[in-house]
Structure 1
Amino acid sequence: MSEPALAPRNALGGVVAVWATAFVATVALGIFVSEEWRVPWLVVAFGGIVLLSFAVQLRYGRTQGFIFRVAGSVTGALLLMGIISVGFGLAAMIPT
């Protein structure tokens, strides 16, 4: 088991998959959850994203760069969720 992988899988795919999941979860929460419950559910969704990031990177099966890949996944998802939630917050300020 100590032999290096001849053709390791691309780790960027797992990072992008976590970002895509964060995007879909944030947009779904913004659309389907009422305004007063949106922030608590975004926190719960971000916790799920962190767990998903660990699971995806553990499935990748390489120890080299594990922390870097998880940090990239989580940081990118946090920024993405923050930007989208700011958009929903600004949209909520517009009177109907």
Structure 2
Amino acid sequence: MTQPALAPRSPLAGVVAVWAVALVGAVAIGILVGEEWRIPWMLVAFGGAVLLSFAVQLWYGRTEGFIFRVAGSVIGALLLMGVISVGFGLAALATASA
């Protein structure tokens, strides 16, 4: 008698988890780090998001769609962190001109 296969983990959960970590990291950097060090720390956080993306997708344990899942995680984190950094940049310009 064969045993039924276990239900596979959702690949979307890993992608969204990386996006959530990127969001929290970008907001924390924007609030806690001074303006002159914000961009270098955003680059460090993005590098961490890339490594986290690889780790999460390797932990998922499926080879089908690995590149697409990693690319989705990384591109989503890049866009999310970019939008947040633009927001903080505009806020810095608004406070400098006021």
Band of TM-score, shorter chain? over 0.9
Partner letter of residue 48 of structure 2?
G
Q: CA deviation at 1:15?
A: 0.2
Deviation readout 1:19-61 (Å, 9 max, x if unpaired): 0000000000000000000000000000000000000000000
Instruction: Normalising by structure 1, report the TM-score.
Output: 0.93
2:21 aligned with 1:11: no
For structure 2, the residue ranges without an aligned partner over 5 or more in a row are none
Partner letter of residue 21 of structure 1?
V
Q: CA deviation at 1:7?
A: 1.8
- 1:63 aligned residue: 63
Q: CA deviation at 1:6?
A: 4.5
- 2:34 aligned residue: 34
Q: CA deviation at 1:8?
A: 1.2
Q: CA deviation at 1:94?
A: 1.3
Partner letter of residue 49 of structure 2?
I
Partner Cα separation in structure 1 for residue 51 and residue 13 of structure 2 = 17
CA RMSD of aligned residues (A): 1.0
Instruction: Normalising by structure 2, report the TM-score.
Output: 0.91
Moved over 2 A (4+): none
Q: How many residues align?
A: 92
Partner Cα separation in structure 2 for residue 94 and residue 63 of structure 1 = 47
Q: Greater CA radius of gyration, 1 or 2?
A: 2
- 2:51 aligned residue: 51
